[in-house]
């Protein structure tokens, strides 16, 4: 017996010149209500989850792998279509999106209902791996399976971020890749519109 849970929203992923990489999940619609969480991998590889409460910390921490979990206020604001503002414990981040690249235009052209369907997402897994090195379907922690139904993609044009008040540096590629679980984010800084389906045993 399994249950499928759907999280609908955005994932913002970026690297910084300091070596810190940040992945923000912003989910206006989820089984846990409207939530946001932040996954951070520091230059030495230390993986930190910043979660707004115990329920989110338990669910995300069971699905992915972290070295540290902190329960802190997490606030994500989008005052306009191009600006993101994220405050989460030690992290303060302001990001600006740019235009859709070619891949974003292709993704945006797929009807949303089809793009969200796990069967369609599964068909895209091999082409995605061959062309971008990313996975759209795979096994997560504790026997869970995930599907990432991406519907749009915008490049990031700039970021200003600090960790414990220390600047993280300019926007860079997400290198090395983050190691929270099977899923990742594009190597180029971006924000994707996505429906994530998690199958829980």
What's the pLDDT score for residue 121? 76
pTM above 0.85, yes or no: yes
C-alpha torsion sign, points 181, 184, 187, 190: negative
**Which pLDDT tens digit goes with each residue over 85-133?**
999 999 999 999 998 988 888 888 888 888 888 888 788 777 777 666 6
**Which pLDDT tens digit goes with each residue over 47-95?**
999 999 999 999 999 999 999 999 999 999 998 889 999 999 999 999 9
Distance, in Å, from the CA atom of 37 to the CA atom of 30, rounded to the nearest integer, reads 12
């Amino acid at each position: 017996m399994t249950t499928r849970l759907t999280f609908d929203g955005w994932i913002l992923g970026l690297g910084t010149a300091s070596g810190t990489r940040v992945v923000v999940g912003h989910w206006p619609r989820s089984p846990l209500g409207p939530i946001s969480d932040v996954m951070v991998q520091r230059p030495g590889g230390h993986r930190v989850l910043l979660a707004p409460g115990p329920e989110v910390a338990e669910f995300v921490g069971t699905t992915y792998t972290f070295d540290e979990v902190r329960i802190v206020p997490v606030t994500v604001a989008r005052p306009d279509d191009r600006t993101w503002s994220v405050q989460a414990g030690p992290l303060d981040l302001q990001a600006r999106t740019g235009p859709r690249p070619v891949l974003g235009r292709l993704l945006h052209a797929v009807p949303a209902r089809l793009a969200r369907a796990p069967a369609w997402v599964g068909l895209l897994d091999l082409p995605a791996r061959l062309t971008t090195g990313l996975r759209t379907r795979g096994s997560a922690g504790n026997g869970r399976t995930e599907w990432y139904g991406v519907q749009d993609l915008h490049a990031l044009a700039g970021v200003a971020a600090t960790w414990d008040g220390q600047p993280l540096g300019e926007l860079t590629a997400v290198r090395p890749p983050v190691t929270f679980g099977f899923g990742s984010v594009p190597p180029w800084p971006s924000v994707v519109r996505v429906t994530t389906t998690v199958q829980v045993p």
